[in-house]
Amino acid sequence: MALIEARGLCLDFPYYHIGARSLKKRLLGNARLHTDPSNRVVVTALRDLSFTIRDGERVALVGHNGAGKTTLLRMLAGVYEPVAGRLTVAGTIGAMIDVSAGLDPESTGRQNVRLRCLYRGMADADTAALTAEVEEFAGLGEFFDVPIRTYSAGMGVRLAFAMATAMQPEVLLMDEWFLAGDAGFLAKAEERLARLVTGADIMVVATHDYGVVRRWCTRAIRLEGGIITADGTVDEVLGPVPEADQPVRTTV
């Protein structure tokens, strides 16, 4: 059974490599920026977040730029550790925050798949199976054995998408681009994405696109300035579907 449980999560983001002194003068007084006990400028990225996400829930994190959506995703993925509070994630985690991270431009598609498998700590047999799967799905033909530096943007997306979606995690963490149209490169991509999303026990997606939220999610959490301002069903958080939007069915 998959579960995400957050109790009083806090995260302060320190600004280390910026001229702290002038920055302090200019920015302090803003509610989210303050100095910590060792006199560094920190921005409050997440403040006292508590929520529980259970099996079967598909949650959208909504909010303006800088509201803390991606930071929260990274924390759920285990990249950042909270400075206060407790986080429990039960279930295998699949994080698709930036899928191009860890790609080596000088290596071929095949070598990159192997590298990704090493990053994921997979056994050799699984690596071979995954390579075959990705090769088939990405449909790059002989370009699969050419350095990805030479790929067109579309080919790069196809490879990244095929690699990222080739496995089925129990807890799926996504940043928005996956669901928001770029994946429309192939009809079969949509089917695969749907399988991935519905196959996961829990999905958390950070997005601006309310169409994505209404189409895929069962619950929405609104973040503002690192604080949860609303948490409930999609309609409760986003309000009813606006008249103007209704005829337009978003295609993903």
Partner 1 sequence: MHANLWHPWRRRGKTRAMLESLPVASAFYQVDAANPQRRQRAIADVVTGLRRWRLAAALAWLDIRNRYRGSVLGPFWLTLSTGTMLLGIGITYSALFRLTLVEYLPHLAVSLIVWNFISQMVTEATTSFVQSEAIIRQMPLPYTIHALRCMMRNALIGAHNLPLILLIFALCGVFPGWEVLLAIPGLMLIAVNGFALALLLGMVCARFRDIGPIVGSVMQLFFFLTPIIWKPQLLGERAVLLPLNPFYAILETVRGPLIDGGGTLIAWVAALSYTFINLALAATFLVRFRSRVAFWV
* Site mask for partner 1 (CB under 8 A), range 195-214, x = bound: ----x---------------
Here the tokens at position 212 are: 């994505």
- For 163, other C-beta atoms within 10 Å of its C-beta total 27
Annotate each residue in 9-28 with x if it binds partner 1 (CB under 8 A) or - if it does not, as one string. -x--xx-xx-----------
CB of 233 to partner 1, least distance (A): 27
Edge-first strand order for the sheet with 58-62 is 93-96, 171-175, 202-206, 58-62, 219-224, 227-232
Secondary structure element (H or E) that encloses residue 163, with its range: helix 153-165
Whose Cβ is closer to partner 1: residue 89's or residue 213's? 89
Alpha carbon 214 to chain centroid, angstroms: 17
- 132 part of the interface to partner 1, by CB under 8 A: no
Q: Which residue lies nearer to partner 1 by CB, 206 or 234?
A: 206
Cβ-based neighbours of 154, under 8 Å, separated by 6 or more: 185
C-alpha to C-alpha distance for 187 and 251, rounded to whole angstroms: 11
Q: How far is the CB of 9 from partner 1 (least distance, A)?
A: 8
Size, binding site for partner 1 by CB under 8 A: 45
C-alpha–C-alpha distance, residues 46 and 68, integer Å? 6
Q: What DSSP element (H or E) covers 60?
A: strand 58-62
Q: Does 170 bind partner 1 (CB under 8 A)?
A: yes
The binder of partner 1 chosen from 33, 122, 186, 230 (CB under 8 A): 122
- Binding piece for partner 1, criterion CB under 8 A, among 86-94, 150-158, 207-215, 236-244: 86-94
Residues 63-82 touching partner 1, rule: CB under 8 A, are 74, 77-82
What residues line the site for partner 1 (CB under 8 A)? 10, 13-14, 16-17, 74, 77-95, 97-98, 101-102, 104, 106-107, 114-115, 118-122, 126, 167-170, 199
